Structure 1
Amino acid sequence: MPQAVDATPLSAERADAIATSFSRQGLMTTFGAALTRVMRGEVEIAMPWSEGVTQQHGFFHGGAVGALADSACGYAALSIVGDGEAGLTAEYKINLLSPAQGERLVAVGRVLKPGRTLIVAQGDVYSETAGVRKAVATMLMTLCVVRTLDHV
């Protein structure tokens, strides 16, 4: 099994650049999601429960679960690439482990294998109620390292 990148603190400048990039994500804004932890190789994003992110049975929609994991993995990748680079999702596989219900969802994205052109990341999503987490999904993702115009 590949060893994840050791999560260590980022420079304030890099953490701010990631927060600025995250604030430009319309979907995460629509979801009410927020960055709750940003480290080198590991990012956590939380999203509160709301009617707007549910399916017909009142659970968090699988699409919302997947989008949260996708963003967490993407920002974990962004935390390790060079200036002027980003990691764009090339593919992912998600396993929905149990119905996602609770006060909020928390996605933790971790870089498993950094690379010059490809990055492999894992995203684990938890439902949370009263501070107790339950695993609801896990994602394995490949990201392609690309040059960007805006440096994040």
Structure 2
Amino acid sequence: MTAAPSHDLDLALARKVLDAQPFSRLLGARITAFGEGGATLELDIREELRQQHGFVHGGVLSYAADNALTFAAGTALGGAVLTAGFSIQYVRPAVGVTLIARAEVVHAGRRQAVTRCDLLTLNTEGAETLCAVAQGTVLAANG
């Protein structure tokens, strides 16, 4: 992982930024780790977040990947960042009680960062299962 210093950003500020996003509040997302080139976003899996087969909807997984990728990049580029694009590969249906999106900076320059994210579900026994992987490019919005 290659990342620059976190620009005096911390977990408390990351939580404020996430809480300023109405869609994140609607989903009940929370940041549980932030700094040193990484970020973790979690949300409780509720009935409203499932598709017709009972799995977490792919749109919810994409949301979690997008936000985690961007927050991770923010640790390297500073707080003003925007997703330039990302891809996601679904590897198995997402079932469990909690969705976890763990992202890290793979490489960061002055104006952009490449980030990757593992999306996992947590079951009632505390076991994690990988359900998707994502990779993205995030740009510094101020530069």
Fold in common (TM above 0.5): yes
Distance in structure 1 (CA, Å) of the matches to 2:112 and 2:36: 17
Distance in structure 2 (CA, Å) of the matches to 1:22 and 1:111: 19
Hey, what does 1:77 align to over in structure 2?
Answer: 73
Match of 1:126 among 107, 120, 130: 120
Hey, what does 2:96 align to over in structure 1?
Answer: 102
1:37 and 1:43 in contact (8 A); partners too: yes
In the TM superposition, structure 1's runs of 4+ consecutive aligned residues that sit over 6 Å from their partners are: none
TM-score, with normalisation over the residues of structure 1? 0.85
Hey, what does 1:32 align to over in structure 2?
Answer: 28
The farther-off stretch of 26-35 and 121-130 is 26-35
- Unaligned stretches of 5+ residues in structure 1: none
Distance in structure 1 (CA, Å) of the matches to 2:129 and 2:7: 28
Provide Cα deviations, 1:36-86, integer angstroms capped at 9, x if missing partner.
11122111111111112111111100010010011111111112224xx52
CA root-mean-square deviation = 2.2
Hey, what does 1:111 align to over in structure 2?
Answer: 105
Query: 1:56–1:139: structure 2 CA closer, same or farther, 3 Å change rule?
Result: same
Aligned pairs, number: 142
Identity %: 27
Alignment of 1:1-152 (within 5 A): 4-5=1-2, 14-82=10-78, 85-129=79-123, 130-147=125-142
Distance in structure 2 (CA, Å) of the matches to 1:107 and 1:135: 10
The farther-off stretch of 28-37 and 57-66 is 28-37
Query: 1:20–1:139: structure 2 CA closer, same or farther, 3 Å change rule?
Result: same
TM-score, with normalisation over the residues of structure 2? 0.90
SS in 2 for 1:5: coil
- Unaligned stretches of 5+ residues in structure 2: none
Distance in structure 2 (CA, Å) of the matches to 1:71 and 1:101: 20
